[in-house]
Amino acid sequence: MHPVGDIQHLQGLSAATAAERLRAEGFNELPATQRRSILAIAWGVIREPMFLLLVACGAIYLLLGDKEEALMLLGFVVVVMGITLYQERKTERALEALRDLTSPRASVIRDGRQTRIAGREVVRGDLLMIREGDRVPADAVLLRTTNFSVDESLLTGESVPVRKLATENQGPSEQRRPGGDNTPFVFSGTLVVQGQGLAEVLAIGLQTEIGRIGKALQAVAPEDTLLQQETGRLVRRLAIAGLSLCALVIVIYGLTRHDWLQGLLAGITLAMATLPEEFPVVLTIFLAMGAWRISRQNVLTRRMPAIETLGSATVLCTDKTGTLTINQMTLVRLAAKGTVCDPEQLGATPLPEAVHELVEFGILASQRDPFDPMEKAIHQVGRKFLARTEHLHDDWELIREYPLSRSLLALSHVWKSRTSDAYLIASKGAPEAIADLCHFTAAQQQELADRIDAMARDGLRVLGVARARFRQSALPSEQHDFPFEFMGLLGLADPVRPTVPAAIRECHAAGIRVVMITGDYPATAQNIARRIGLPAEHVISGPELSDMDDARLQQHIRDVCIFARVVPEQKLRIVQALKANGEVVAMTGDGVNDAPALKAAHIGIAMGGRGTDVARESSALVLLDDDFSSIVQAVRLGRRIFDNLRKAIAYIFAIHVPIAGMSLIPVLFQWPLVLLPVHILFLELIIDPACSTIFEAEAAEADVMRRPPRDPREPLFSRANVLRAVLQGLAVLAVVLAVFGLALQRGQSADEARTLSYTTLIIANLGLILSNRSRTRTILQTLRTPNRALWWVLGGATVFLTLVLSVPFLRGLFKFAALHPLDIAICLAAGLFSILLAELLKLRRR
C-alpha cells in the first residue's frame, strides 16, 4: 500500500477544470437559510410598533383634516424605512461575509499541489486529503488509507465508528451506502475519527447521500446572548411603562380638554417618545458588525456571546508552536556519536560522516512529501546535503507505518529496498520514547537526559532517531519488537513571531495573564518564555500535573505561566483549575483532543490554519492565521465593542428622558403641546444613525488595554450607567423645559415657545452625541478623533433644522414660528449648557 503522504506524482484536477465544473455543477452546498430580500426586510419594518404608531398618527391627521401633516408623516415613514433598510442590509452583508468565512475547509490536490480551499468550492473529481478530526466535505471513494475510521452517526444513527479501506479498483462498483466496516466510501458531513486518507470526490451538494435523504445543513440559528436577554427584559418593562403612560395621557387629555382625538394623538406621541425601539437594533448591529470587524483581524467569530466575553478575559492559554512561534521549523543541531554540528553553519561543506545516517534515517521516518513543519525541516537538510548521494532512497518501497500513540510518542516506517531482502526500519519521536525502543539502561537514559536538557535550554525542540534491520517475513504488531539502534538527536528551532513580545506586554498592561501550554521540554518552554517576556521561573510539567490533585493544582496554577510536556487531555484540567479560581479563560487548540478544553473554556479559540474541524466546531472563535497577536487584537476589539455599546445605550437613555418629559409634562400641566409625531420622527432621524452608526464606528479609548478586564457579571444596564445617563437626560429636560416656560411667561405664542424649546432640544441632542463619544475625554478632545459617520449625521441634522426654521412651508408643517438671530443664539447657548454637567463629571473623574 502506498503511503497517504506520498503525493508527489499526483496531479488532481487542474484549476481550469475545477473552475469549469464549479460553473457547470454549482457549489458544494445544501439548501440553507435563504438570504432575506429587501421586501422581507421591509415587511419586518412595517410590523414594527414604531411604524404602526406612525400609521395611526397619519390616520388621525386625516380624520382631523390635516392632509399636509398626514403626507409629511408618510414622507418621513419612507425616510425612516430607508434608514432601517440600509442598517439591516449592512448587518446582513456582515453576516454573509462571516458565513463565507465559516465554510468548512477542505485540503485538495490541484495542479499537483496540495492546497486548502473552502468546502463549498470542492468539485466532482477533486482529490481530497482527509485526516483525523476533519469533516468529510463531499461523498468520495478512498484511494489510499492509513488506520482510517469514520463516525457516520449523522447518516446512520450508529455512534460506533466504522473502519474504511481503500478501493481495490479504479472505478467504484460497490453500492454506495453509509454504514458497515471495510467499505471504500466516505460521505459528506461525516467525521474522521482516526487515521488519514486520500479520496476522489464522487458527488457534491444535493447529489450527496445527505442531500438525497432530504437533510439540509441549516445556518446556525442566532442565539440570544446575555446582552440580548438583558435588553429584552428592559424593552418589555419600558414598553409596559410607555403604554401605561400613553393610556394615562389619553385619559387626562380627554377629561381635562374634552378632545379625545387630540388626546389620542398626544398619547401616541408619548408612546413614540418612550418606545425603546433602538435597543434591539443597536445590539443586533453592534454584534454583527463587531464580529465582522474582528474577522478583519483574522479572527472568525462562530458564536456571538464570545464578543461579550472577550473584554472579560483574564487568562489567555496558548500553544507555543505556530501561535507564539511562526511554525517554520529549522534543523539547527545534529548530535550523533559524539559529534555535534549546525547544518546552517556548514555552508557548502559536506555533512560530517557521524551525522550522515542520522539525517538519512530522520528522512526515512518522515512522510515523503511532508506537511509537518519538523519533517519539512529534516527534508530541507536532506535535499541540501544528500541530494547528490544515494541516501535519499526515492526508489525504496514503504511497506508499513507504525503510528504515534498515546503510550509511545514515536512512529516508525518499514522500508524495503530493491537490493536487500531485509526490512529497514526508521523511527523518530520523543527522545524518551526512542530510548525506550532502544532498551536503554538507566545510565544511558541519564546521559541522554543531560544532552536533551542542554539542547532544550537553548530553546530547541528535540527529536530522537533510531534504526533497525528485520529479516522475518511477518512484521510484528508493535514497534517494540524491532531491534532498534540509537542514531542520535535532532535539534529544531522555531523562531518567535516578531509581533508576540509586544502583544504579551499589551496583555500584561491589560491585566491579562498569558499561560503557555506546550508539549516541549521545560527548558525549551522557559527559553521561549524569556524571549517573549513571560515569567519563566516556575514550570509545571505533564507528569507533575498528573501527580497533583485538583486542589493542589488550583493553588499552584495561580503563579505559573508555563506548562510543559503536556498532553492534550491535560488541557481540560488546566482550564477547569483556572475557572475554579474565578478566572475568565480563553483557550487555543487545534486537535481532536483539544475539543473538550476548548468547549470548557469561556472562549475557545481554534487554529484556522492547522486546526481540525472538530476543534473549530468546539470553539467560539477561529484564529485564521494562527497568530497570537491576532488574539490580543480581538480582545482589544472586544473591549472596544462593549465600550461603544455602553456609550450608545447611555445616549439612548439620556435623549429619551427629555423627549418623554416634553411629551408628558405639558399634558399634565395643561400647557400647549411641545412635541407632535412629526417632531419625534425628526429626532428619530438623528437618534437611529447616531446610536447604530456613530457609536459603532467610534475608535477605542486610549486606555482600553491599560485597564483590568471587565467583570463578566457587570450588566450593560448597571445602576451607575443608567443613573449617569438619566442625569444627563434630566439636565437636558430641565434646560428645554426652562426655555419653554420662559417663552410662555414672556407672552410668546405657543408656536414660538415650541420652536425655541425644540431647537434647544435638537442642539442638546447633538451635544449628547458628542459628549457620549467618550466617558473620559471632553468634547474638544474627542473632536480630534476622526469619525466620518459623525459629520454626516451632524451635518444632515443642521441642514434639515435650518430648512425647517427658514422655509415657511416647512415651518407651517412643524407648527413653528420664525426665529430671530438672538433666539437662535439663546437656543444654542441653552443646548450646550444642558450638557455641561456631563462634561464637568468627566473632568471630576479624571
Q: Catalytic positions, please?
A: 319
Burial (0-12, 13-18, 19+ Cβ within 10 Å), 839: middle
Say how many C-beta atoms besides its own lie within 10 A of residue 174's C-beta. 12
CA atoms within 13 A on the CB side of 416: 12
Helix (H) or strand (E) segment spanning residue 449: helix 442-457
Take residue 657 and report the three cell numbers written for it. 428622558
Q: Which residues contact 643 (CB under 8 A, 6 or more apart)?
A: 311, 700, 701, 704, 775
DSSP state of 701: P
| Angle in degrees, CA 226, 599, 286, rounded to 5 | 35
- How far, in Å, CA of 162 to CA of 404, rounded? 21
**Nearest CA among 191, 205, 198 for reference residue 120:** 205
In contact, 367 and 379? CB cutoff 8 Å: no
| Helices H / strands E in the chain, number of each | 31, 22
Say how many C-beta atoms besides its own lie within 10 A of residue 143's C-beta. 18
In contact, 423 and 470? CB cutoff 8 Å: yes
In contact, 5 and 106? CB cutoff 8 Å: no
Q: Which residues contact 810 (CB under 8 A, 6 or more apart)?
A: 803, 804, 816
Q: Which residues contact 510 (CB under 8 A, 6 or more apart)?
A: 635, 639, 705, 706, 707, 708, 709
In contact, 287 and 307? CB cutoff 8 Å: yes
Q: Which residues contact 786 (CB under 8 A, 6 or more apart)?
A: 699
Query: What letter represents residue 506's amino acid?
Result: E
In contact, 701 and 643? CB cutoff 8 Å: yes
114: left (phi over 0), alpha (psi -120 to 50) or beta: beta
Strand order in the sheet with 461-470: 339-341, 330-336, 485-493, 461-470, 423-429, 410-416, 397-402
- How far, in Å, CA of 821 to CA of 843, rounded? 32
| Angle in degrees, CA 248, 249, 252, rounded to 5 | 85
User: Would you say the C-alpha torsion 11, 15, 21, 22 has a positive or negative sign?
Assistant: positive
319: left (phi over 0), alpha (psi -120 to 50) or beta: beta
Helix (H, G, I), strand (E, B) or coil at 541: strand
In contact, 350 and 620? CB cutoff 8 Å: no
SS3 content of the chain, % helix, strand, coil (to 5): 50, 15, 35
Beta bridge pairs of residue 85: none
Helix (H, G, I), strand (E, B) or coil at 607: strand
Measured between alpha carbons, how far is residue 789 from residues 64, 82, 93, 335 in Å?
A: 39, 17, 19, 63
Strand 513-517 vs strand 621-623: parallel, antiparallel, or unpaired? unpaired
Say how many C-beta atoms besides its own lie within 10 A of residue 820's C-beta. 8
Residue in this structure with the C-alpha cell 508552536, named with its chain if needed: 321
Helix (H) or strand (E) segment spanning residue 196: strand 191-203
In contact, 214 and 31? CB cutoff 8 Å: no
**Nearest CA among 500, 479, 335 for reference residue 411:** 479
